[in-house]
A = this chain, B = another copy of it.
Amino acid sequence: MAQTEDHLHPNETQRIEAFSDGVFAIAITLLIIEIGVPHVGGGESLASALGDLWPSYGAYVLSFVMIGIYWANHHSFFRLFVRTDHYFLMLNVLFLMAIAFLPFPTAVLGEYLDDSAQRDIAVRLYAFALLLPAVGWLLVWLYANARGLVDERLAPDYIRFLTAQYLLSNALYAGALLLSFLNAWIALTIVVGLTLLYLLPPRRPRFIQ
């Protein structure tokens, strides 16, 4: 297990970040093609057909902002990693798999949010899909800490703060998922609220003096 001894080849970090940025950029941009052009016949109105897509526009904005926030965080915190190993790469791939999955539940939410018979399932899938990258990122972080891949000049209480924050984030998304079994709108409100919260700037890294 001498592998973790390696210092990160600077070019290597750049390729991990470039590949991750690619997946973020593609997942975020693919969101729009899940919104199909409405096909209206003779007597129908395009205006009302476009209006009927409001849940799709809402789901688009919500997922776009979520992926954007994950990108910004990935961007900020990847600089804290100074070494890498094979399993770290694989966990990053797992995390990206959760990000790349998001266009599907977003499209399902957009299609069924205003369908009272199916709304609950659509929101449950969406809450579950938002929990996945939170779990993935937590695993990346815990693994990086356990294997000493994190910059050792980081203040220990800052590391503890981040661990606590990621655990809390997982708990909140898990809570939203559980609540979605009771009431879809409450679960969705929590998910939107969490997104707004994450729009606030993250606490800045603190290093040992």
> For A204, what are the chain B residues with a Cβ–Cβ distance below 8 Å?
3
- Residues of chain B lying within 8 A (CB to CB) of residue A104: 32, 35, 37
Number of chain copies forming the complex: 4
- The dominant DSSP class at the A interface is helix
* Interface segment out of the listed A86-94, A148-156, A157-165, A184-192: A86-94
- The answer to whether A27 and B24 touch across the interface, beta carbons within 8 angstroms, is no
B-side contacts of A79, CB under 8 Å: 9, 11
Q: In this complex, what residue of B is CB-closest to A109? A: B37
Interface residue A179 (Cβ < 8 Å from any Cβ of B): no
Per-residue B-contact encoding for A71-103, CB less than 8 Å = 1, 0 else: 110010001000001110110010011001101
- Nearest-Cβ distance from residue A127 to partner chain B, whole angstroms: 14
Chain A interface residue count, Cβ-Cβ cutoff 8 angstroms:
69
Q: How far is the CB of A99 from chain B (nearest CB, A)?
A: 9
Verify A72–B90 contact, CB threshold 8 A: yes
Contact indicator B90/A199 (Cβ below 8 Å)? yes
Q: Is the CB of A122 within 8 A of B46?
A: yes
**8 Å CB contact of A3 from B86, B89, B201:** B201
Max chain B C-beta neighbours (<10 A), residue from A47, A85, A87: A47
Query: Which residues of A are at the interface with B, using a C-beta cutoff of 8 A?
Result: 3, 9, 11-12, 15-19, 21-35, 37-40, 42, 45-47, 50, 60-61, 64-65, 68-69, 71-72, 75, 79, 85-87, 89-90, 93, 96-97, 100-101, 103-104, 107-108, 111-112, 117-118, 121-122, 125, 199-202, 204
